[in-house]
Chains A and B, each alone.
Chain A
Amino acid sequence: KAGVTQTPRYLIKTRGQQVTLSCSPISGHRSVSWYQQTPGQGLQFLFEYFSETQRNKGNFPGRFSGRQFSNSRSEMNVSTLELGDSALYLCASSLDGHSYEQYFGPGTRLTVT
């Protein structure tokens, strides 16, 4: 079956702009989590969506938001971009949350100039 897909793969934005990233989970997976990965910081949890509801949230400012649609596809939005938002953003899907294997997408590399 098809894996997790993320679009776009690469993105260059300017400070102050906003960006929307998309994630399509594996068919049948209802949980989608988003992570930010920066050098030296490891994977930082942004939020998890399950059945269109945000079930958990990491310690990120309100500029980071997300949503999940009825087909389990998820989007992540970052408003008022800052240079420090430059990172690899990964989404992962699973059957039902964090006690299950996470299947990762290829990521979106965001560069903020």
Chain B
Amino acid sequence: ILNVEQSPQSLHVQEGDSTNFTCSFPSSNFYALHWYRWETAKSPEALFVMTLNGDEKKKGRISATLNTKEGYSYLYIKGSQPEDSATYLCASDAGNNRKLIWGLGTSLAVNP
């Protein structure tokens, strides 16, 4: 994988549902994997920065896991709420050039 890919592109869930998204990234020369939440009319906000294979981070109802050997990360939201509606972006810091390469995001809509 040369680019950062996110799936699904969009997701509609009901309030209370749990959901998860995937971020695939280049596994060679890996430094860090970022997750951000971008709400409409606001700026992207950092959720997690993960660096170690097998790492798992949690913030409230949101958690993320990281597999640097196979180049993927999962973001989980437990018991989705309408305020979780946003675009969730991941970005990979990898390679010799040390640039943050961003995925296109997963757009989540939580219906009350």
Contact = CB atoms under 8 A, between A and B. Distances in A.
Interface residues of A, number: 25
A50 B53 CA distance: 28
Interface in A25-55: 33, 35, 40, 42-45, 48, 55
Given A99-B49, A99-B93, A102-B34, A45 B99 contact: yes
Contacts of A102: 34, 36, 44, 46, 100
A113 to B, nearest CB: 23
Contacts of A10: none
B93 A98 contact: yes
A66 interface: no
Given A43-B89, A99-B31, A104 B44 contact: yes
Contact of A98 (B43, B44, B98, B103): B98
Nearest to A42: B104
Interface in A59-113: 90, 92, 97-107
Contacts of A103: 46
Interface residues of B, number: 23
A56 B45 contact: no
Nearest to B47: A101
A98 B46 CA distance: 12
Nearest to B46: A101
A48 B43 CA distance: 18
A78 B20 CA distance: 39
B49 A100 contact: yes
Interface of B: 31-32, 34, 36, 42-46, 49, 51, 89, 91, 93, 97-105
7 contacts: A56-B97, A90-B43, A90-B44, A98-B31, A102-B34, A106-B43, A107-B43
Given A4-B43, A42-B105, A90-B44, 8 more contacts: A42-B102, A43-B44, A92-B44, A98-B31, A98-B32, A99-B32, A101-B49, A102-B36
